[in-house]
Amino acid sequence: MHWYDKLNQYFPIEEMKSKEHIELLLDEKSDIYYKDEGPEHVLLYAELDEFVFIDYIYVAKEARGKGLGYKLLKKLKDKQKPIILEVEPVDYQDSDTEKRLHFYAREGFEHATSIGYNRKSLATNETNSLEILYWSPTNESKKSILNRMKQTYEKIHTYKDKHLYGEAYQPVDQVLKIEEGKEDILKPISVK
C-alpha cells in the first residue's frame, strides 16, 4: 500500500493534507520537510533550526507494541531539539485516540493545555480543535511553544494552500492562541 494511503486510512479527514500538498513539501521544502518510510511505518516531520514538528506518525497495527514508535521518536529526540506534535482530543468512541495519548505520555511528552488550537478544515468546512503535545530536553515557555507552532502552521500547514485547495486556511492568529485563565504551561498528559 502506498504511504499516503496508509496515512489517509488512519488519520481523520479533517487532519489530512492532500497528497499533492505533502509531495510539494517533500519536493519544495526538502531542506526542512522529511519522510521516513518503512514496511510498517510512515513518519513525516519538519526539522527547523530550533525544533522538530511531527506532522504524521503512523505505525501499522501489527507492529504496534513492538518498540517501533519508540525507535522513531528516539531518532528525533536524539537531535536534542524540542519536538511538537498535534493530536485530536480523546474520543472515548475511538480507542486509538486514547492509546496515542498513553504512548506519548510514556515517551515523556507533555500537554500544552494553555494553547488553544482551533482550525477550520478545508476538507469538511468544520472547525476542529486539536491539542498540542510537546517534548523538550530543556524547559520551554508557553510563548516559545506557541511561536514554534505558529511557524509550523505558516511554513507547513498553509504552504501554497490557496493553490492546492482553492482557498486559504485562516490566519495563524485566529487559529493558535494562549487561552486566558489557563495558567499551566505544560502538564503531564492525562487520560481517564
What is the full DSSP assignment across 120-152?
E-TTT--EEE-EEEEE-SS---HHHHHHHHHHH
* pLDDT score at 185: 43
111: closest CA among 92, 136, 148, 81?
A: 136
Expressed in percent and rounded to 5, the helix, strand and coil fractions of the chain are 35, 25, 40
Q: Which three cell numbers stand for residue 31?
A: 531542506
191: closest CA among 106, 129, 115?
A: 106
From residue 57, give the alpha-carbon distance in Å to each of 39, 133, 144, 173: 13, 13, 23, 26
- The domain ranges of the chain are 3-188
Q: Which three cell numbers stand for residue 134?
A: 510537546
Backbone phi and psi for residue 65, each to the nearest 5 degrees, phi listed first: 85, 5
* pLDDT score at 102: 87
Give the pLDDT of the chain (192 residues) as one tens digit per residue: 899 999 999 888 889 999 999 999 999 999 999 999 999 999 999 999 999 999 999 999 899 889 999 999 999 999 999 999 998 876 656 666 678 888 999 999 999 989 999 999 988 889 999 999 999 998 888 899 999 999 999 999 999 999 999 999 999 999 999 987 655 444 454 544
CATH homologous superfamily for the domain 3-188: Gcn5-related N-acetyltransferase (GNAT) (3.40.630.30)
* pLDDT score at 192: 46
* pLDDT score at 98: 76
Contact partners, residue 106, CB within 8 Å, separation at least 6: none
* 140, amino acid identity: E
Say if residues 126 and 14 touch (Cβ distance below 8 Å): yes
* pLDDT score at 94: 61
